[in-house]
Structure formats: C-alpha cells, structure tokens
Amino acid sequence: IKNNYDTLSLWTAYYIMTRINRYCPTKEKPFVIGLPTGSSPLGVYKKLVEYYNSGKVSFENVVTFNMDEYVGLPKQHNQSYYYFMYENFFNHIDILTENINMLDGCANNLKHECERYEKKIIQVGGIDLFLGGVGTDGHIAFNEPGSSLASRTRIKTLCEETIKSNSRFFDNINVPRFALTVGLGTIMDSREVLIIISGFHKAHALKECLEGNVNNTWTITLLQHHKQCIIGCDKEATRELKVKTVDYFKNLQKIT
C-alpha cells in the first residue's frame, strides 16, 4: 500500500527493474514480461524510461506480450493499444522490434491470431512477470465479468460498462465492441503477476480481490489462486477494505 499514484508507480517500476536486472537476461534466455495499457501503468512506463535513460536497466533482452487489443482498430489509430505502447514506452527504450508481441485485432483470422499468440508464449518459455491493471468492475486484461476462469487468448465481447467507460476516448462514436485478450488461464500460467490498483474508483475491485470469494464476475478474484501474485495499490484504493485487512497487509509490509 503506497500513499498515492506516484509512489505506487515508482515502487512498481523499481520492482520491475530489479526483477529484470537480477534475472540477467541474455538473447538466449530473455526476461519475458506481460504488459497492460490504460492510465494505471502510465507512471510505471514513465519511470522505467527514466531508469533506461540513466543506464540502470536495458530492455535489449526483454520480450514483451501485451494483454489485449481492440478488434478492427488499425495500428495507427491513436486509441489502438499498439499506438499506446509505442507512444508511451517502446519508442523510448532499447527494446528490439522482434521482441515485441502484440495481438493483431485486424488479422484476417482472429481465432488463428489468438492461437498464434498462445503458441508464441509457450515458445519463449512462458511469461516471467505479468503486469496488469484492473477495470472498475474487477476485470483484468479484457476478461470481462462472466469470463471463464480457465480462458485462453480469445475474442471477447466487451460489456456495456467497459464500452461506456471507453466511449470518452472515441468521442462517443464507433466505440469498439470486441477485443482480443489473453485469457485468465494465460495470466495464471505466468510465473508472477503484479497488478496495480489506484484510486477510489477502483476500491470496490480491490475489496472483491482481497476479501471476496473467487468468482467469474469479478475476474480479478481468481488471482487468489495464483502462487506468486502482488497487488500494488494506493491508499485511495483501500477505502472499501476492512480496517483489519489494511492492518494485516501493512504489518506484512513492515516485516518483509
């Protein structure tokens, strides 16, 4: 639990940098990271670029897999996740283009595109660390309420709440209704998961995540079953939690 968005971003970026550096990635044994878009990771990307610029980390032997992409939105569209990633991260670091993996929402055969992605993840040896955010309704990647807890990368129909919340980015017209997304099973297969949750509007999602039961309405709850999962949050996001839950995690933090 960090005081605010900035300290949460700083902590998360430092954690990722440390993970990469300790792993000592090489061309033969790259560090594989799953990445999200959205406002939550922006501060983390900014900080990681700073670390790169000051020579503290290199992404030369890092392989990335993005979580999701809208269906039917060309790469050059300024709301595509492809555009977002290059604009906010990839253009500013030394990552090799061939190490960047993103779902193509304009592929001729979307089913094959999803299968290709799953195979590629296996080919590189699986994901070492999956970074993610969460929707206000508790979804991770685009695993909307009702998603199968065993789902793999697939086409997903976006729910009304997500479409509504995205409409501001599309001037309320032609808001995408479908997306390609890694599945909950895909995320669960990663060796480590790190979710960042910031702001009061995410407080209910954090409450379900920590105090709720595992269910497919709040898909983030599945992470309770993950063997190595960290939830990084700010104080605002904890406002729906029980005092004893907050105290429990604060104490853990002190000890570790």
Catalytically annotated residue among 113, 128, 137, 208 = 137
As measured in angstroms, the least distance from the Cβ of 207 to ligand GLP is: 16
What is the dihedral sign for C-alpha 60, 189, 67, 1? negative
Kindly tell me which of 20 and 134 has the beta carbon lying closer to ligand GLP. Answer: 134
Kindly tell me which of 98 and 160 has the beta carbon lying closer to ligand GLP. Answer: 160
Please give the distance of CA 171 from its chain centroid, rounded to a whole number: 25
Residue numbers at the binding site for ligand GLP (CB under 6 A): 36, 38-40, 67-68, 133-135, 141-142, 162
* Whole-Å CA distances, 170 to 35, 80, 116, 215: 23, 11, 29, 31
As measured in angstroms, the least distance from the Cβ of 164 to ligand GLP is: 12
How far is it, in rounded angstroms, from Cα 59 to Cα 43? 18
Kindly tell me which of 30 and 133 has the beta carbon lying closer to ligand GLP. Answer: 133
Catalytically annotated residue among 69, 113, 128, 139 = 139
Whether 104 is a known active-site residue: answer no
How far is it, in rounded angstroms, from Cα 169 to Cα 78? 9
Kindly tell me which of 32 and 182 has the beta carbon lying closer to ligand GLP. Answer: 182
As measured in angstroms, the least distance from the Cβ of 68 to ligand GLP is: 5
As measured in angstroms, the least distance from the Cβ of 162 to ligand GLP is: 6
Whether 234 is a known active-site residue: answer no
What does DSSP assign to residue 39?
S
Kindly tell me which of 68 and 236 has the beta carbon lying closer to ligand GLP. Answer: 68
Strand order in the sheet with 154-157: 68-70, 178-181, 154-157
Strand pairing report for 178-181 and 129-132: unpaired
Whether 137 is a known active-site residue: answer yes
Whether 28 is a known active-site residue: answer no
H runs (alpha helix) in 124-226 = 160-166, 184-188, 203-211
Of the candidates 55, 70, 69, the one whose C-alpha atom is nearest the C-alpha of residue 21 is 55
Active site residues: 68, 137, 139, 144
